[in-house]
Chains A and B, each alone.
Chain A
Amino acid sequence: QVQLQESGPGLVKPSETLSLTCSVSGASVSQYYWSWIRQTPGKGLEWIGHVYASGSTNYNPSLKRRLTISLDMSKNHLSLRLSSVTAADTAVYYCANSFGGLDAFHVWGPGTMVTVSS
């Protein structure tokens, strides 16, 4: 079955770029839509954006100007880059898949905690 695993630095300094990777096993990233979702105690669950096999992306307008989500077919993983981070970007970050561009999120990774602090 599909399994996802997020990885990346747990601590990022303010104004720097947060970079995370989601490794996919049990499926090819050429299938499905792949999303990043984050969760904070204050704002709850927030969809960040998704990427499809064609490379097409759709981002949350609230994050769009700072965000890049991409696929690496050779490594079978997806990546997230969020620039100019602030404390408000401190969250647990999840990757998840869906069958359509606007759909439920079927399989989730365990999540990775990212703290933005100097």
Chain B
Amino acid sequence: DIQMTQSPSSVSASVGDRVTMTCRASQGISSWLAWYQQKPGKAPKLLMSAASNLESGVPARFTGSGSGTEFTLTISSLQPEDFATYYCQQANGFPPTFGGGTKVEI
């Protein structure tokens, strides 16, 4: 299985901060990477696929980049509704696998 490692596991930030998190794959996955946002008690919500393609309705303050084995998700100006846990997922090989998450907290 392709292992996905996210860092940091948690980050403390304030409204208006720029936040960047990293996802690393144990082998090259081209751009076959998705990012999700999950709030407590809710299902994950797809933010972007193919490393940088924003889903409809997702604010432009979320940007994704990277290819191969290293990817980043950046929130340019943190809003109160962005406090959540973020997961990456590779879609390059079976089984699809997820990272352990980065929790963005106040």
Contacts and interface: CB of A to CB of B under 8 A. Distances in A.
A29 to B, nearest CB: 19
B44 interface: yes
Contacts, number: 49
Contacts of A46: 98
A47 B43 contact: no
A46 to B, nearest CB: 7
Contacts of A111: 43
Interface residues of A, number: 19
A102 B94 contact: yes
A110 B42 contact: yes
Contact of B98 (A45, A58, A62, A110): A45
B91 interface: yes
B80 interface: no
A108 B96 contact: no
Interface of A: 44-47, 58, 60-62, 94, 96, 102-106, 108-111
